[in-house]
Amino acid sequence: MQEYPKTRMRRSRRWEFSRRLLRETTLTVDDLIYPIFVTEGEQVSEPILAMPGINRLSIDLVVQETKLLRELGIPAVALFPVVPKALKSRQASEAYNHQGLMQRAIRILKTEVPEVGVITDVALDPFTADGQDGLTRDGYVVNDETVQVLCKQALSHAEAGADMVAPSDMMDGRIGKIREILEANGYTETMILAYSAKYASAFYGPFREAVGSLQNLGSADKKTYQMDPANADEALAEVRLDIQEGADMVMIKPALPYLDIIRRVKDRFEIPLFAYQVSGEYALLKSATGQGYLSEQDCVMESLYAIKRAGADAILTYYAKTVAMWLADKDE
Ligand code: PBG
Protein backbone atom coordinates (compact mmCIF):
# COMPACT_ATOMS: atom_id res chain seq x y z
CA MET A 1 0.00 0.00 0.00
CA GLN A 2 1.23 3.50 -0.89
CA GLU A 3 1.88 6.10 1.75
CA TYR A 4 -0.11 9.23 2.44
CA PRO A 5 -1.16 11.24 0.45
CA LYS A 6 -1.30 8.71 -2.41
CA THR A 7 -3.31 6.63 -0.02
CA ARG A 8 -6.03 8.39 1.89
CA MET A 9 -8.10 5.80 3.70
CA ARG A 10 -10.89 8.33 4.10
CA ARG A 11 -11.54 8.67 0.32
CA SER A 12 -13.63 5.52 0.23
CA ARG A 13 -15.29 6.26 3.54
CA ARG A 14 -16.72 9.55 2.33
CA TRP A 15 -19.89 8.31 0.63
CA GLU A 16 -22.59 5.92 1.68
CA PHE A 17 -22.33 4.15 -1.70
CA SER A 18 -18.63 3.40 -1.35
CA ARG A 19 -19.01 2.45 2.29
CA ARG A 20 -21.64 -0.04 1.19
CA LEU A 21 -19.42 -1.44 -1.57
CA LEU A 22 -16.52 -1.92 0.80
CA ARG A 23 -18.47 -3.42 3.70
CA GLU A 24 -16.77 -6.70 4.62
CA THR A 25 -19.50 -8.22 6.80
CA THR A 26 -23.19 -8.60 6.08
CA LEU A 27 -26.08 -9.18 8.41
CA THR A 28 -29.38 -10.41 7.02
CA VAL A 29 -32.47 -12.08 8.34
CA ASP A 30 -30.90 -15.38 7.17
CA ASP A 31 -28.43 -15.10 10.05
CA LEU A 32 -31.00 -14.97 12.83
CA ILE A 33 -32.47 -17.57 15.18
CA TYR A 34 -35.18 -16.54 17.64
CA PRO A 35 -35.25 -18.22 21.08
CA ILE A 36 -38.76 -18.76 22.47
CA PHE A 37 -39.84 -19.68 26.01
CA VAL A 38 -42.77 -22.11 25.91
CA THR A 39 -45.18 -22.43 28.82
CA GLU A 40 -48.37 -24.37 29.60
CA GLY A 41 -51.84 -22.95 29.05
CA GLU A 42 -53.72 -21.09 26.38
CA GLN A 43 -53.45 -17.45 25.41
CA VAL A 44 -50.72 -17.08 28.02
CA SER A 45 -48.10 -14.39 27.53
CA GLU A 46 -46.07 -13.63 30.66
CA PRO A 47 -43.44 -10.92 30.68
CA ILE A 48 -39.95 -11.75 31.96
CA LEU A 49 -38.68 -9.17 34.42
CA ALA A 50 -35.13 -8.69 33.18
CA MET A 51 -36.00 -9.15 29.50
CA PRO A 52 -38.40 -6.39 28.43
CA GLY A 53 -40.17 -7.35 25.21
CA ILE A 54 -39.73 -11.12 25.71
CA ASN A 55 -42.57 -13.25 27.08
CA ARG A 56 -43.20 -16.82 28.04
CA LEU A 57 -45.78 -18.03 25.53
CA SER A 58 -48.30 -20.85 25.57
CA ILE A 59 -48.14 -23.19 22.55
CA ASP A 60 -51.01 -21.48 20.67
CA LEU A 61 -49.19 -18.14 20.92
CA VAL A 62 -45.87 -19.77 19.98
CA VAL A 63 -47.54 -20.90 16.75
CA GLN A 64 -48.89 -17.40 16.14
CA GLU A 65 -45.49 -15.87 16.85
CA THR A 66 -43.72 -18.35 14.57
CA LYS A 67 -46.08 -17.49 11.72
CA LEU A 68 -45.06 -13.85 12.14
CA LEU A 69 -41.39 -14.89 12.17
CA ARG A 70 -41.97 -16.79 8.93
CA GLU A 71 -43.42 -13.60 7.38
CA LEU A 72 -40.31 -11.74 8.51
CA GLY A 73 -38.07 -14.40 6.94
CA ILE A 74 -36.47 -15.73 10.12
CA PRO A 75 -35.21 -19.25 9.31
CA ALA A 76 -35.50 -20.93 12.71
CA VAL A 77 -36.64 -20.81 16.31
CA ALA A 78 -34.97 -22.31 19.40
CA LEU A 79 -37.42 -23.61 21.99
CA PHE A 80 -36.95 -23.57 25.77
CA PRO A 81 -39.61 -25.05 28.05
CA VAL A 82 -40.92 -23.56 31.27
CA VAL A 83 -41.78 -26.70 33.20
CA PRO A 84 -44.32 -26.64 36.07
CA LYS A 85 -42.69 -27.31 39.46
CA ALA A 86 -44.77 -30.44 40.04
CA LEU A 87 -43.17 -32.11 37.00
CA LYS A 88 -39.59 -31.51 38.12
CA SER A 89 -37.86 -34.47 39.72
CA ARG A 90 -34.52 -36.00 40.65
CA GLN A 91 -34.60 -38.24 37.59
CA ALA A 92 -35.84 -35.49 35.23
CA SER A 93 -38.05 -38.06 33.49
CA GLU A 94 -40.44 -35.38 32.21
CA ALA A 95 -37.63 -34.46 29.78
CA TYR A 96 -38.53 -37.40 27.52
CA ASN A 97 -42.30 -37.52 28.04
CA HIS A 98 -43.83 -37.90 24.58
CA GLN A 99 -46.75 -35.76 25.71
CA GLY A 100 -44.47 -33.21 27.37
CA LEU A 101 -44.65 -29.49 26.69
CA MET A 102 -41.66 -29.48 24.33
CA GLN A 103 -42.74 -32.55 22.41
CA ARG A 104 -46.25 -31.08 21.89
CA ALA A 105 -44.84 -27.70 20.87
CA ILE A 106 -42.52 -29.30 18.31
CA ARG A 107 -45.31 -31.40 16.77
CA ILE A 108 -47.71 -28.48 16.43
CA LEU A 109 -45.05 -26.16 15.00
CA LYS A 110 -43.94 -28.71 12.40
CA THR A 111 -47.60 -29.14 11.38
CA GLU A 112 -48.65 -25.50 11.34
CA VAL A 113 -45.45 -23.70 10.31
CA PRO A 114 -43.28 -26.42 8.72
CA GLU A 115 -41.03 -23.95 6.86
CA VAL A 116 -39.51 -22.62 10.06
CA GLY A 117 -36.69 -24.76 11.47
CA VAL A 118 -37.20 -26.04 15.00
CA ILE A 119 -34.16 -26.24 17.25
CA THR A 120 -34.63 -27.85 20.66
CA ASP A 121 -32.68 -27.57 23.88
CA VAL A 122 -31.35 -30.90 25.07
CA ALA A 123 -30.52 -30.41 28.73
CA LEU A 124 -32.17 -31.29 32.01
CA ASP A 125 -32.18 -28.01 33.92
CA PRO A 126 -35.87 -27.25 33.29
CA PHE A 127 -36.71 -30.75 34.61
CA THR A 128 -34.47 -31.25 37.64
CA ALA A 129 -35.66 -30.25 41.09
CA ASP A 130 -32.32 -28.55 41.81
CA GLY A 131 -32.04 -26.64 38.51
CA GLN A 132 -28.83 -28.42 37.52
CA ASP A 133 -28.36 -29.56 33.91
CA GLY A 134 -27.83 -33.16 34.96
CA LEU A 135 -28.68 -35.82 37.52
CA THR A 136 -27.05 -35.24 40.88
CA ARG A 137 -25.43 -37.84 43.18
CA ASP A 138 -23.98 -36.73 46.51
CA GLY A 139 -24.00 -33.13 45.38
CA TYR A 140 -22.15 -33.82 42.13
CA VAL A 141 -23.69 -33.69 38.66
CA VAL A 142 -22.92 -37.12 37.24
CA ASN A 143 -21.92 -37.39 33.61
CA ASP A 144 -22.74 -40.79 32.16
CA GLU A 145 -26.17 -41.28 33.75
CA THR A 146 -27.12 -37.80 32.61
CA VAL A 147 -26.09 -38.62 29.06
CA GLN A 148 -28.45 -41.61 29.06
CA VAL A 149 -31.37 -39.31 29.88
CA LEU A 150 -30.21 -36.78 27.28
CA CYS A 151 -30.31 -39.54 24.65
CA LYS A 152 -33.95 -40.32 25.48
CA GLN A 153 -34.76 -36.61 25.47
CA ALA A 154 -33.08 -35.98 22.09
CA LEU A 155 -34.80 -39.02 20.58
CA SER A 156 -38.21 -37.83 21.82
CA HIS A 157 -37.57 -34.45 20.20
CA ALA A 158 -36.56 -36.08 16.92
CA GLU A 159 -39.64 -38.29 17.01
CA ALA A 160 -41.81 -35.19 17.54
CA GLY A 161 -40.20 -33.66 14.43
CA ALA A 162 -37.36 -31.47 15.67
CA ASP A 163 -35.04 -30.44 12.84
CA MET A 164 -32.06 -29.78 15.06
CA VAL A 165 -31.34 -30.91 18.60
CA ALA A 166 -29.02 -28.74 20.63
CA PRO A 167 -27.32 -30.35 23.63
CA SER A 168 -26.46 -27.40 25.84
CA ASP A 169 -25.19 -28.92 29.06
CA MET A 170 -21.45 -29.51 28.45
CA MET A 171 -21.55 -33.17 29.61
CA ASP A 172 -18.72 -35.25 28.14
CA GLY A 173 -19.48 -37.63 25.30
CA ARG A 174 -23.09 -36.52 24.80
CA ILE A 175 -22.77 -35.65 21.12
CA GLY A 176 -21.46 -39.12 20.22
CA LYS A 177 -24.14 -40.91 22.22
CA ILE A 178 -26.96 -38.77 20.84
CA ARG A 179 -25.70 -39.24 17.28
CA GLU A 180 -25.61 -42.99 17.87
CA ILE A 181 -29.19 -43.21 19.15
CA LEU A 182 -30.52 -40.97 16.37
CA GLU A 183 -28.83 -43.10 13.70
CA ALA A 184 -29.98 -46.34 15.34
CA ASN A 185 -33.59 -45.14 15.24
CA GLY A 186 -33.54 -43.90 11.65
CA TYR A 187 -33.25 -40.19 12.42
CA THR A 188 -30.33 -39.82 10.06
CA GLU A 189 -31.28 -36.30 8.98
CA THR A 190 -31.66 -34.72 12.42
CA MET A 191 -28.97 -32.10 12.86
CA ILE A 192 -26.99 -31.75 16.07
CA LEU A 193 -26.02 -28.25 17.13
CA ALA A 194 -23.43 -28.73 19.85
CA TYR A 195 -23.10 -26.05 22.48
CA SER A 196 -19.40 -26.89 22.36
CA ALA A 197 -18.05 -23.98 24.25
CA LYS A 198 -20.54 -22.82 26.79
CA TYR A 199 -19.06 -20.80 29.60
CA ALA A 200 -20.09 -20.82 33.27
CA SER A 201 -21.32 -17.29 32.70
CA ALA A 202 -23.19 -14.89 34.95
CA PHE A 203 -24.90 -13.56 31.83
CA TYR A 204 -27.50 -16.37 31.96
CA GLY A 205 -29.32 -14.89 34.97
CA PRO A 206 -32.41 -13.56 33.15
CA PHE A 207 -32.80 -16.86 31.25
CA ARG A 208 -32.82 -18.82 34.50
CA GLU A 209 -35.54 -16.50 35.80
CA ALA A 210 -37.45 -17.02 32.53
CA VAL A 211 -37.46 -20.83 32.73
CA GLY A 212 -37.87 -20.83 36.50
CA SER A 213 -34.61 -22.62 37.36
CA LEU A 214 -33.10 -19.64 39.18
CA GLN A 215 -34.83 -20.37 42.49
CA ASN A 216 -34.18 -24.09 42.27
CA LEU A 217 -30.50 -23.48 41.61
CA GLY A 218 -30.24 -21.10 44.57
CA SER A 219 -26.64 -20.19 45.28
CA ALA A 220 -25.28 -23.24 43.41
CA ASP A 221 -23.35 -22.82 40.17
CA LYS A 222 -22.52 -24.89 37.08
CA LYS A 223 -18.75 -24.65 37.21
CA THR A 224 -18.16 -28.42 37.31
CA TYR A 225 -19.45 -28.74 33.74
CA GLN A 226 -19.58 -25.33 32.04
CA MET A 227 -16.27 -23.71 31.06
CA ASP A 228 -14.14 -21.30 33.03
CA PRO A 229 -14.45 -17.83 31.43
CA ALA A 230 -10.69 -17.47 31.74
CA ASN A 231 -10.02 -20.32 29.29
CA ALA A 232 -9.70 -20.30 25.51
CA ASP A 233 -7.58 -23.29 24.38
CA GLU A 234 -10.02 -25.54 26.22
CA ALA A 235 -12.83 -24.28 23.96
CA LEU A 236 -10.88 -25.51 20.91
CA ALA A 237 -10.53 -28.95 22.49
CA GLU A 238 -14.29 -29.02 23.18
CA VAL A 239 -15.06 -28.10 19.57
CA ARG A 240 -12.64 -30.72 18.22
CA LEU A 241 -14.25 -33.47 20.32
CA ASP A 242 -17.80 -32.48 19.33
CA ILE A 243 -16.87 -32.53 15.65
CA GLN A 244 -15.32 -35.99 16.06
CA GLU A 245 -18.45 -37.19 17.85
CA GLY A 246 -20.73 -36.06 15.02
CA ALA A 247 -21.85 -32.45 15.51
CA ASP A 248 -23.19 -30.71 12.40
CA MET A 249 -22.53 -27.27 13.77
CA VAL A 250 -21.08 -25.86 16.96
CA MET A 251 -21.97 -22.95 19.19
CA ILE A 252 -20.11 -20.46 21.31
CA LYS A 253 -21.99 -18.90 24.19
CA PRO A 254 -22.25 -16.12 25.34
CA ALA A 255 -21.31 -14.12 22.24
CA LEU A 256 -20.04 -10.57 22.68
CA PRO A 257 -17.70 -11.25 25.64
CA TYR A 258 -16.26 -14.26 23.73
CA LEU A 259 -15.49 -12.86 20.27
CA ASP A 260 -11.93 -14.15 20.51
CA ILE A 261 -13.23 -17.69 20.94
CA ILE A 262 -15.55 -17.33 17.93
CA ARG A 263 -12.64 -16.14 15.79
CA ARG A 264 -10.25 -18.86 16.91
CA VAL A 265 -12.79 -21.62 16.29
CA LYS A 266 -13.62 -20.16 12.87
CA ASP A 267 -9.94 -20.05 11.91
CA ARG A 268 -9.23 -23.57 13.13
CA PHE A 269 -12.20 -25.69 12.05
CA GLU A 270 -14.28 -26.18 8.91
CA ILE A 271 -17.66 -26.36 10.61
CA PRO A 272 -20.63 -24.00 10.72
CA LEU A 273 -20.44 -21.82 13.79
CA PHE A 274 -23.32 -20.29 15.72
CA ALA A 275 -23.10 -17.76 18.54
CA TYR A 276 -25.66 -17.13 21.27
CA GLN A 277 -26.26 -13.55 22.31
CA VAL A 278 -27.60 -14.59 25.70
CA SER A 279 -30.24 -13.19 28.02
CA GLY A 280 -27.77 -11.08 30.01
CA GLU A 281 -26.42 -9.48 26.85
CA TYR A 282 -30.01 -8.68 25.88
CA ALA A 283 -30.71 -7.28 29.36
CA LEU A 284 -27.62 -5.05 29.19
CA LEU A 285 -28.67 -3.58 25.86
CA LYS A 286 -32.31 -3.21 26.92
CA SER A 287 -31.55 -1.48 30.18
CA ALA A 288 -29.00 0.99 28.83
CA THR A 289 -31.12 1.81 25.78
CA GLY A 290 -34.32 1.91 27.83
CA GLN A 291 -32.75 4.56 30.06
CA GLY A 292 -31.80 6.55 26.99
CA TYR A 293 -28.07 6.11 27.70
CA LEU A 294 -27.46 4.35 24.38
CA SER A 295 -29.25 4.24 21.03
CA GLU A 296 -30.92 0.83 20.76
CA GLN A 297 -30.88 0.14 17.04
CA ASP A 298 -27.30 1.35 16.55
CA CYS A 299 -25.93 -0.61 19.52
CA VAL A 300 -27.81 -3.81 18.70
CA MET A 301 -26.72 -3.74 15.05
CA GLU A 302 -23.12 -2.98 16.03
CA SER A 303 -23.11 -5.90 18.49
CA LEU A 304 -24.49 -8.31 15.90
CA TYR A 305 -22.04 -7.09 13.24
CA ALA A 306 -19.23 -7.66 15.73
CA ILE A 307 -20.39 -11.23 16.35
CA LYS A 308 -20.59 -11.92 12.61
CA ARG A 309 -17.26 -10.21 11.95
CA ALA A 310 -15.67 -12.47 14.56
CA GLY A 311 -16.81 -15.45 12.49
CA ALA A 312 -20.33 -16.52 13.44
CA ASP A 313 -22.45 -17.95 10.62
CA ALA A 314 -25.70 -17.47 12.54
CA ILE A 315 -26.74 -15.82 15.79
CA LEU A 316 -29.31 -16.83 18.38
CA THR A 317 -30.65 -13.56 19.70
CA TYR A 318 -33.70 -12.29 21.56
CA TYR A 319 -33.45 -9.32 19.20
CA ALA A 320 -34.04 -11.51 16.11
CA LYS A 321 -37.65 -10.39 15.57
CA THR A 322 -36.88 -6.71 16.14
CA VAL A 323 -33.83 -6.83 13.88
CA ALA A 324 -35.82 -8.58 11.15
CA MET A 325 -38.32 -5.72 11.34
CA TRP A 326 -35.57 -3.11 11.16
CA LEU A 327 -34.02 -4.87 8.16
CA ALA A 328 -37.40 -5.08 6.41
CA ASP A 329 -38.02 -1.35 6.96
CA LYS A 330 -34.71 -0.49 5.36
CA ASP A 331 -35.47 -2.46 2.20
CA GLU A 332 -38.81 -0.80 1.56
C1 PBG B 1 -29.43 -24.39 30.12
C2 PBG B 1 -29.37 -23.19 29.26
C3 PBG B 1 -29.03 -21.91 29.71
C4 PBG B 1 -29.13 -21.07 28.60
C5 PBG B 1 -29.51 -21.83 27.52
N6 PBG B 1 -29.64 -23.16 27.92
C7 PBG B 1 -28.73 -21.42 31.06
C8 PBG B 1 -27.75 -22.11 31.89
O9 PBG B 1 -26.81 -22.75 31.42
O10 PBG B 1 -27.91 -21.99 33.11
C11 PBG B 1 -28.86 -19.59 28.66
C12 PBG B 1 -29.41 -18.77 27.56
C13 PBG B 1 -29.49 -17.34 27.87
O14 PBG B 1 -28.98 -16.84 28.90
O15 PBG B 1 -30.10 -16.62 27.07
N16 PBG B 1 -29.28 -25.60 29.51
The pLDDT tens digits for 4-31 are 999 999 999 999 999 999 999 999 999 9
What values do phi and psi take at 20, rounded to 5?
A: -65, -45
pLDDT of residue 216: 87
What values do phi and psi take at 6, rounded to 5?
A: -60, -45
Average of per-residue pLDDT across 73-86: 97
198 is catalytic: yes
For 19, counting Cβ atoms within 10 Å of its Cβ (0-12 exposed, 13-18 middle, 19+ buried), the class is: exposed
Judged against a pLDDT cut of 70, whether residue 208 lies above it is answered with yes
Looking from the CA of residue 226, the nearest atom of ligand 1 is 9
What CA–CA distance (Å, rounded) separates 274 from 266? 10
**Residues forming beta bridges with residue 32, ordered by sequence position:** 315
177 is catalytic: no
Q: Are 301 and 26 in contact (CB under 8 A)?
A: no
pLDDT band at 214 (very low <50, low <70, confident <90, very high): confident
* C-beta of 283 in contact with ligand 1 (< 6 A): no
pLDDT of residue 80: 98
Judged against a pLDDT cut of 80, whether residue 103 lies above it is answered with yes
Report CA(208)–ligand 1 centroid distance (Å): 7
The percentage of the chain sitting over the pLDDT mark of 70, rounded to a whole number, equals 99
Q: Which of 154, 191, 190 is nearest to 271 (CA)?
A: 191
Report CA(226)–ligand 1 centroid distance (Å): 11
pLDDT of residue 157: 98
Average of per-residue pLDDT across 242-265: 98
| pLDDT tens sequence across 135-193 | 999 999 999 999 999 999 999 999 999 999 999 999 999 999 999 999 999 999 999 99
The percentage of the chain sitting over the pLDDT mark of 90, rounded to a whole number, equals 95
Q: Ligand 1 pocket test: which of 204, 276, 281, 319 has the largest number of ligand atoms within 8 Å of its C-beta?
A: 204
- In the chain the first and final C-alpha atoms are separated, in Å, by 39
Whether the model clears a pTM of 0.85, i.e. scores above it, the answer is yes
What CA–CA distance (Å, rounded) separates 94 from 92? 5
Report CA(329)–ligand 1 centroid distance (Å): 31
CA 276 to chain centroid, in Å, comes to 5
Q: Which of 88, 177, 222, 253 is catalytic?
A: 253
pLDDT band at 3 (very low <50, low <70, confident <90, very high): very high
* C-beta of 125 in contact with ligand 1 (< 6 A): yes
Judged against a pLDDT cut of 80, whether residue 330 lies above it is answered with no
Q: What average pLDDT does the chain have?
A: 97
| pLDDT tens sequence across 221-239 | 999 999 999 999 999 999 9
pLDDT of residue 331: 56
pLDDT band at 215 (very low <50, low <70, confident <90, very high): confident
Report CA(68)–ligand 1 centroid distance (Å): 25
DSSP output for 108-139: HHHHH-TTSEEEEEE-STTTBTT--SS-EETT
